[in-house]
Amino acid sequence: MSSQVLIEQTSGAAFAALLRAHAAATRRLSAQLSADHGLTLSDYEVLLRLGRAPDRRMRRVDLAEQVLLSASGITRLLDGLERTGLVERAACSADRRVVYAVLTNAGLEKLRDASRSHLGQIDTLFRARLSDEELADLTGLLARLDEGGDEIACDPPE
C-alpha cells in the first residue's frame, strides 16, 4: 500500500506543529497589535529595531535582513511608516546610494506605546502555556532550526 509514503514521520509532525504554532501566535498577536495600534507585526519589528539602533537609524538593507523581508518589501513597508510620520528618511553623506530609515519622535512614542501592550500579550500567550524552563528550551530548539541556513558547501574542495 503506497499510503506508506503518506504516514506522518516525526519530523513531519514537527514541521506541522511549527506551521500551526506560528499561525496561532501570529494571528492572535497581529490582530491585537493591529486593533490596538494600527501596526502589523513587521511594522512593530521595524520600529523596534530602529529604536535600538545607534542614532535610531539604519540602512534599509540591514533593516530588511533583520526583519526577514526582501529589499522591495522594506521599501513598501517604510513607505507606509513614512506616510504616518513614524519614520523618516535621511541621506548618508559617505555613500550616496544609501538612504537611512530614521525613527522620528512620534515613532519612538508609538513604539513605547505599542510595546506596553504587545509585550504583555506575547507574555500572556507564551507564559500561560509554558513554564520558564520550557520557554527557554523552546527558544533554544527553534534557534537551531535556522542556524547555518546557507552554509552549504562553503568549504574548499578537498
Partner DNA sequence: TCGCTACTATTGAGTACGCAAGCAATAGTA
Partner DNA sequence: TACTATTGCTTGCGTACTCAATAGTAGCGA
Considering only residues 1, 5, 94, 153, which one is a binding residue for its own copies as defined by CB under 8 A? 5
Coil, strand or helix: which one is 129?
Answer: coil
Count the Cβ atoms, other than its own, within 10 Å of residue 127: 12
Asked if residue 33 binds DNA (CB under 7 A), the reply is no
Q: Is 118 exposed, middle or buried (0-12, 13-18, 19+ CB in 10 A)?
A: buried
How many angstroms separate the first and last alpha carbons of the chain? Answer: 44
Considering only residues 1, 6, 35, 94, which one is a binding residue for its own copies as defined by CB under 8 A? 6
Smallest gap from Cβ 97 to DNA, in A, equals 4
The CA distance from 13 to 43, in Å, is: 31
Smallest gap from Cβ 92 to DNA, in A, equals 7
Are 57 and 46 in contact, with CB atoms under 8 Å apart? Answer: no
Residue 156 C-alpha cell reads as 574548499
Asked if residue 14 binds its own copies (CB under 8 A), the reply is yes
The CA distance from 98 to 109, in Å, is: 26
Smallest gap from Cβ 44 to DNA, in A, equals 10
Please, which of residues 25-64 interact with its own copies by CB under 8 A? 25-26, 28-29, 41, 48, 51-52
Q: Percent helix, strand and coil across the chain, each rounded to 5?
A: 65, 10, 25
Smallest gap from Cβ 140 to its own copies, in A, equals 8
Residue 84 C-alpha cell reads as 504616518
Q: Which does 89 bind (CB under 5 to 8 A by kind): DNA, its own copies, none?
A: DNA
Q: Which does 106 bind (CB under 5 to 8 A by kind): its own copies, DNA, none?
A: none
Write the binding mask 110 to 139 for its own copies: x where contact by CB under 8 A, - elsewhere: -xx--xx--x--xx-xxx-xx-x-xxxxxx
Footprint of DNA (CB under 7 A): 40-42, 59-61, 68-78, 80, 89, 95-100
